[in-house]
Each structure stands twice: as structure tokens, then as C-alpha cells.
Amino acid sequence: LWNANNIIEDSLIQIRQLVGKEAVLLALSGGVDSSVVAALLHRAIGEQLTCIFVDNGLLRLNEADQVMATFAQHLGVRVIKVDAQARFLSALAGVADPEEKRKIIGRLFIDIFEEQARQLNAIQWLAQGTIYPDVIESAGAKSGKAHVIKSHHNVGGLPERMQLKLIEPLRELFKDEVRQLGLTLGLPAEMVFRHPFPGPGLGVRILGEVREEYADILRRADAIFIEELHQSGWYSKVSQAFAVFLPVRSVGVMGDARRYDYVVALRAVETIDFMTARWAHLPYELLERVSNRIINEVNGISRVGYDISSKPPATIEWE
């Protein structure tokens, strides 16, 4: 019988048998899968687990603080937080091409992760939040079935390069099972039911060149959208929702003053598998409230659009 408690009990035994007294390293992103792995491994082996969390400057508003609060303060997991905002921003300076940005972000993440790992001694294991659909997807990719429209980064290839043994405790589980496990392990519901967030983060939601100023504006607009989705009960009805920064300027008026500021687009989609998606038919009143709040509260934005493109032909992300 499938039951989160049974799965956890079995996993704890297996993990302890496999790992023994050895040390395990995990790249914690704050997403559902790596978070559940962190909580599970922490319960199984406590201090033998070290997590590395990289703040790349492309995270959502307060995201780094929330991850640290949940894992380091609340659960007592050993988490090394790496403040790498400046490194990512300077590596991305002048780069506008989406795939180029993805490569830079992915590579830099691996470099930083390896640097950190080298400073720790005697790590034998690398833990990853691979879940069953990832296993199937990469099998498809090997047989040539999957076409790469966008390169999706995880830390694939790292275990061999770093000569570490790989532990993937969620490898046989589906997403909804992973969520149940997370709740049972005491992770907050906001974390467990969070929409997926791409590895390159705001790096692919700021069109063209990434700048700190754009990221700051986008974070605030995105936070308002997400807050209003929660308030109205729509967050859980859509599969993914976010704001996109468009580096074009548009004229507006505020009081007596003329504004000439940037534009954000809102995107919300409904999908089962993220391979096809329908744009969410959010109520006009909700869109109106979000738009008013963004224009009034976020300096630097003068206009808000709503993306009514479905996938295909449009992708979910704008880049």
C-alpha cells in the first residue's frame, strides 16, 4: 500500500544502509524535488548531509531567505549559502541570446558547486532530486525521441566528474508522491506546492541582456502577481505563473507626470505535462488588480500585458 509514512520508513533504512557513515552533498535549489531530498536525507543521516545553495541573483523576491529559513533555521539542515549574484551578473553582461545565457548560468553553477565541494573534506556521495518522470524523459532523450527546444540544466554529469557516488532517493516516485513525502517530512505547504521554476531563473524571464536593475523590477512585479493569485485562490488552479521583463519602454502618465518606463508581461498556464499548455483564463478583475498594483507599486513599470499564447506554438517561458 502506498503511504507516505511507509515510503519514508523504507527510504530511511535504504539510505542509511547505502551511505553508512559517509558524507553526502546536495545542491539545494529550493524547488520541490531538491527540498524533499534535503528533508529526507537530513532525517536519515543528519549531520552527514551538507547542502549547497547558490544565490545567483536570478531568484524570486525573498527566495534565498525563505530557503535558508526553512532548511537552516527551521529544520537544522547544514546549508552553505553562496552569494554569487555579482559573479552571475558579470558573466551575463552583454549576453542577449537565451541559449547562451542558459549555458553561462549552468556552467557557472557547476563551477561554484565544485569550488564549494573542494573546500569540504571527504565527501563521497552526491544526492540528486531525480524523480521518475526525469528517468523516463532522459531514457527518451537517449533513444533520440526528445527534441531539445531549450536546453534544460540540472547537475547531470557532475557525479562522474567529481568522482562521487550518486544517490537519488526519489527516483521511483511521481511528483504528487514527492509532494506527499515533503508534507509528511514537515516541509511548508507553500514550498511543496510551489510552481516549477526554471534553473536559469529570472535569467530567461528578462528578455535579452540581464541587468540587476531589471531583475529587481521583475522580482517585485512577479511577487505582486503571485500574491494576488494566492489571495484569489487562482494559484493552485494554474500550473505555472510568472512575470516577464521586457526591456522596451512605453509612455504613461502618473498624476501630472509623464512616465517612460519598462513593460512586464504576465504569463499563467494550465498544463498536465508542460509539453502542451493553455493560457489560463484568469478573471478580468484579477488581471485588473494585478496590473494596477504593479504600475502603482513598482517603480520602472508603466505598462502590463497578459500573454494569451498557448503552447504550442509558443513555449511557456518567453526565452
Binding site for ATP, by residue number, is 29-35
**Interaction between residue 133 and ligand XMP (CB under 6 A):** no
Phi, psi dihedrals of residue 249, rounded to the nearest 5°: -115, 150
Return the amino acid letter for 204.
V
Among 43, 150, 175, 289, binds ligand XMP (CB under 6 A): 150
| Least Cβ distance, residue 114 to ligand XMP (angstroms) | 19
Which residue of 171, 274, 289, 310 would you call a contact of ligand XMP, by CB under 6 A? 274
**Footprint (CB under 6 A) of ligand XMP, residues 216-235:** none
Q: In this chain, which of 30, 57, 129, 200 binds ligand XMP, going by CB under 6 A?
A: 200
Does residue 175 touch ligand XMP according to CB under 6 A? no
Of 153, 165, 211, 293, the one binding ligand XMP by CB under 6 A: 153
103 contacts ligand XMP (rule: CB under 6 A): no
HSE at residue 319, side-chain half, CA atoms within 13 A, is: 24
Q: Does 110 bind ligand XMP (CB under 6 A)?
A: no
Residue 294, interface with ligand XMP (CB under 6 A)?
no
Cβ proximity to ligand XMP, 49 vs 105, nearer residue: 105
Whole-number minimum distance, CB 207 to ligand XMP, in Å?
13
By CB under 6 A, which span of 35-43, 77-85, 192-200, 218-226 interacts with ligand XMP?
192-200
Residue 4 neighbours by CB under 8 Å, 6+ apart: 177, 180, 181, 183, 184
How is 225-239 classified by DSSP, letter by letter? HHHHHHHHT-GGGSS
Give the Cα separation of 50 and 41 in Å (integer): 10
Nearest approach, Cβ of residue 319 and ligand XMP (Å) = 8
Which of these, 281, 284, 198, 283, lies nearest to 244 by C-alpha position?
A: 198
Residue indicated by cell numbers 513599470: 301
311 touches ligand XMP by CB under 6 A: yes
Candidate list 102, 194, 267, 303; residue touching ligand XMP; CB under 6 A:
102
Length of the chain: 319
Please choose, from the candidates 166, 150, 158, 162, the residue with its C-alpha nearest in 3D space to the C-alpha of residue 203.
150
Q: Which residues are annotated as a binding site?
A: 29-35
Output the smallest distance, CB 289 to ligand XMP, in A: 25
Taking the complex as a whole, the smallest distance from the CB of residue 318 to ligand XMP amounts, in Å, to 8
Q: Does residue 198 bind ligand XMP (CB under 6 A)?
A: yes
Q: Say how far apart CA 173 and CA 275 lie, in whole Å.
A: 20
**From the list 32, 110, 131, 316, which residue makes contact with ligand XMP (rule: CB under 6 A)?**
316
CB nearer ligand XMP, residue 102 or residue 219? 102
Residue count, binding to ligand XMP (CB under 6 A): 15
Site for ligand XMP in 39-98 (CB under 6 A): none
Taking CB under 6 A as the rule, does residue 128 contact ligand XMP? no
**In the complex, least distance from residue 302 CB atom to ligand XMP, rounded to whole angstroms:** 26
Give the footprint of ligand XMP on this chain (CB under 6 A).
102, 149-150, 152-153, 196, 198-200, 240, 274, 311, 315-317
